[in-house]
Structure formats: structure tokens, C-alpha cells
Amino acid sequence: MGRFQIGPQSKPFEFMSWLLNTLHKDLRTSKKNTSIIYECFQGELEVVKEIPNKTGMKEDEDDQNGVQKITEGGGGGGHDNIARETCRMPFLMLGLDLPPPPPLFKDVMEKNIIRNI
């Protein structure tokens, strides 16, 4: 019996995640972790942290999760004593928060719903 069946409802996020991961696993072309699924759907999130009073420079650290870190020190400049650490994190699915919907009101007859814009 499969993970997803006709009839019972499941969360769309779980289905899409399962589908992309299964297709990627089945379509890998070599020992490298790449496939047409990753080429089409994989994105990269870049996060920049500013850390005060840190000097030095480190580049291209990769951790076990595939996150790439680059740290740039503020050398030379008088006011530039801020180190910037840049992390690049690959993803297949990126969850974003949606803004709240506008409030709804009923009309005088309490039958029609009117949006307050």
C-alpha cells in the first residue's frame, strides 16, 4: 500500500515534497547528487549576517547540510568593523508566510459578505 491513496486527503506540501524527492532519487544520472529535478526546482537562499568587531576572512566552508558559508572581515576602513557572514542554503521547497486576509463584513441583510479594503 502506497503512501498516498485515492480518497483520503493529505497535505499538498507533503505530497509535493514526496513527489520531488522520489523523482530526484529515481532520475539521478550519476553518483553526484544531481538530476533534472534539482536542475529545474532547486533554489538557493542567501542569508547575510552582520557581526560587529570581527576581523579576518574565511571563504567557502561547506557543512554537512550543503550550507556554504563565506565570512568577510572589515579590514582597513575606520568605520567598517563589521564582518559579514554569508550562508547559501539550497532548497527544493521554500515556505513563505502569506499576508493576513482583509477583514470581512456582512451587509445590512447579513447575506452578502463585503471585503473591507
Per-residue model confidence (pLDDT) at position 71: 64
Number of domains composing the chain? 2
Distances (CA, A) of 100 to 20, 97, 103, 114: 29, 9, 9, 16
Residues 83 and 53 in one domain: yes
Residues 72 and 48 in one domain: yes
Nearest-CA neighbor of 95 among 13, 11, 10? Answer: 13
Q: pLDDT tens digits, residue range 8-19?
A: 888 888 889 899
Q: How many helices (H) and strands (E) does the chain have?
A: 2, 6
Residues 48 and 85 in one domain: yes
Q: pLDDT tens digits, residue range 8-57?
A: 888 888 889 899 989 998 988 777 778 888 889 889 999 999 888 645 55
3 state SS of 22: helix
Residues 15 and 33 in one domain: yes
Residues 19 and 52 in one domain: no
Residues 71 and 101 in one domain: no
Instruction: Tell me which DSSP letter residue 16 carries.
Output: H
Q: Whole domain around residue 50: which residue ranges? A: 44-91
